[in-house]
């Protein structure tokens, strides 16, 4: 009987390993529902005390199952499964994938500050420290200048032939840092340049990995803040080169939103960026990076507004992607899109019926430190107010935006459109009253 019982245990173990391999294959083909089914069967077959008996298998099954559930936007289940791995994992290395998946799920649900805090704690386990107390700005700018100098000194060929990162702890740190880039942009912006610098220092000191393309693209995007378009273009092209060389398709949507939604919007016709941004959306959907897919769609709408696309066409896109964002539970990016959605609706229908929703969103943005959402509400609100000749309201919203920008490490320029409208609003009020004063900052 003991022999038969052992044979059954071995058969069951073989089946579980087979389900794991099938789940891995399905994930590689972006067949997330099928992957979930295989992995669930493997987990359900586990015996009592499975964490003691089959620890390595459990780590792989549960970690991959959490990733599959994330790709299917089942975020509550992600939290439950990731929690199991974090509880039973014996080392931080074994818990890394679960932590990364949990952080992404929190980010999607607009729990940005929770995602940032867990990311910082994870990085400290990898000996990469992001101090809660920010360093002096001069220290950050000196580190930024040094990093930029090193990048500019390297030719495209030299950088793309750079050594590959091999140390597993450095690669793991890059994975957490690349998540932090988005979240610190959305909320704790003072940390954004620090996170980019740390990502680039790891790359320059230890070699290139797939996540380096995201670090480079983010660096390019940030340089547009200083109107360093030559440097931003050079580093942006390096990002695309690393993306292609390392076949890092899973990061294409992140690289494209920073480059085609960043530097290339400044140096070429805006409308030429719409197609790459929509490719970023499509690839993100295919690879399970739904959040960045939707951010590409959101950016395409913003570029469409800036480049003067037909408002009815924009409204159709907003409704289409808004429906998808709700379907895939993409709370963060859906919230990001609302200021544009209301502006387009107001311009088409000449109504102002969303005041209650707007006030609610503004209150939420302030409470959750959602700087980008709050800023966009002032930006697009000012555009609409000016177009409808409500110059006092437009000026008030501009001043509110300028006050908020003092808290932001990267202001929004919208490819020059914001400065253009600021000028129009200033002139309108100057014509209206000689007492009007508006000092540049």
* pLDDT mean over 386-394: 93
> Which comes out higher in pLDDT, residue 335 or 352?
335
3-state SS, residue 90: coil
pLDDT at 409 (0 to 100): 74
Rounded to whole angstroms, the Cα distance separating 384 from 98 reads 44
Report which DSSP code applies to 227: T
**Rounded to an integer, what distance in angstroms lies between the CA atom of residue 275 and that of residue 389?**
34
Q: What is the pLDDT of residue 129?
A: 83
Helix axes 311-327, 331-349, angle to 10 degrees: 150
Q: What per-residue confidence (pLDDT) applies to 3?
A: 47
User: Which segment of 7-11, 104-108, 141-145, 395-399 scores lowest on mean pLDDT?
Assistant: 7-11
pLDDT at site 109? 92
Residue in this structure with the two tokens 């070699």, named with its chain if needed? 207
pLDDT, tens digit, 9 for 90 and up, residues 32-46: 999 999 999 999 998
pTM of structure: 0.88
Task: Report the chain's mean pLDDT, rounded to a whole number.
Answer: 91
Instruction: Output the pLDDT for position 438.
Output: 59
Judge whether residue 114 has pLDDT over 70. Answer: yes
pLDDT value of residue 423: 95
pLDDT at 363 over 90: no
pLDDT of residue 12: 85
Tell me the average pLDDT across 391-406.
93
Is residue 72 classed as helix, strand or coil in its secondary structure?
A: coil
pLDDT tens track for 240-286: 999 999 999 999 999 999 999 999 999 999 999 999 999 999 999 99
Q: Is 80 exceeded by the pLDDT of residue 368?
A: no
- The model's confidence at residue 411, banded by pLDDT at 50, 70 and 90, is confident
Distance CA 84, CA 227 (A): 47
Q: Mind listing the pLDDT tens digit for each residue in 168-213?
A: 999 999 999 999 999 998 888 889 999 999 999 999 999 999 999 9
- CA dist 360 and 370 (Å) reads 13
pLDDT at 436: 60
- The pLDDT > 70 percentage for the chain reads 95
Task: Tell me the average pLDDT across 143-153.
Answer: 90
Cβ atoms within 10 Å, residue 244: 14
Closest CA to 304 of 285, 317, 289, 321: 317
Rg value, the chain, Cα: 24
- How high is the pLDDT of residue 6? 47
pLDDT band at 1 (very low <50, low <70, confident <90, very high): very low
**Mean pLDDT along residues 406-431:** 89
On the question of pLDDT at 5 being above 60, the answer is: no
Instruction: Give the DSSP letter of residue 126.
Output: T
């Amino acid at each position: 009987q003991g022999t038969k019982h052992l044979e059954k245990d071995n058969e069951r173990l073989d089946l579980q390993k087979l389900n794991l391999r099938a789940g891995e294959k399905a994930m590689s083909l972006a067949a997330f529902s099928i992957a979930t089914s295989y992995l669930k069967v493997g987990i359900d077959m586990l015996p009592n005390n499975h964490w003691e008996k089959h620890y390595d298998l459990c780590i792989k099954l549960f970690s991959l199952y959490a990733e599959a559930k994330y790709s299917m936007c089942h975020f509550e289940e992600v939290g439950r499964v990731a929690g199991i791995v974090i509880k039973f994992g014996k080392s931080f290395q074994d818990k890394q994938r679960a932590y990364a998946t949990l952080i992404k799920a929190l980010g999607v649900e607009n729990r940005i500050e929770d995602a940032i805090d867990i990311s910082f704690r994870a990085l400290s386990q990898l000996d990469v420290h992001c101090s809660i107390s920010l360093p002096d700005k001069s220290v950050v700018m000196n580190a930024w200048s040094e990093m930029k100098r090193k990048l500019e000194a390297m030719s495209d060929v030299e950088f793309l032939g750079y050594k590959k990162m091999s140390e597993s702890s450095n690669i793991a740190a890059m994975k957490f840092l690349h998540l932090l880039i988005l979240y610190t942009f959305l909320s704790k912006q003072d940390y954004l340049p620090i996170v980019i610098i740390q990502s680039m220092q790891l790359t320059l000191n230890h070699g290139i990995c797939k996540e380096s393309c995201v670090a480079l693209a983010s660096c390019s995007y940030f340089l547009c803040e200083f109107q360093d378009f030559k440097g931003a273009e050079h580093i942006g092209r390096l990002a695309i080169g690393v993306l292609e060389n390392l076949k890092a398709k899973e990061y294409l949507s992140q690289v494209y939103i920073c480059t085609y939604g960043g530097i290339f919007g400044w140096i070429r016709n805006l409308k030429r960026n719409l197609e790459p941004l929509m490719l970023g959306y499509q690839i993100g959907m295919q690879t399970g990076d739904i959040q960045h897919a939707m951010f590409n769609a959101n950016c395409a709408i913003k570029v469409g507004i800036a480049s003067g696309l037909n408002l009815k066409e924009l409204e159709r896109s907003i409704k289409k992607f808004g429906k998808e964002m709700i379907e895939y539970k993409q709370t963060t990016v859906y919230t990001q899109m609302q200021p544009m959605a209301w502006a387009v609706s107001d311009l088409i229908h000449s109504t102002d019926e969303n005041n209650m929703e707007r006030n609610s969103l503004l209150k939420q943005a302030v409470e959750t430190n959602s700087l980008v959402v709050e800023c966009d509400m002032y930006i697009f609100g000012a555009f609409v107010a000016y177009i409808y000749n409500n110059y006092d309201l437009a000026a008030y919203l501009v001043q509110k935006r300028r006050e908020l920008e003092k808290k932001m490490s990267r202001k929004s320029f919208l490819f020059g459109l914001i400065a253009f409208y600021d000028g129009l609003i200033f002139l309108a009020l100057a014509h209206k009253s000689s007492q009007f004063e508006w000092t540049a900052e």
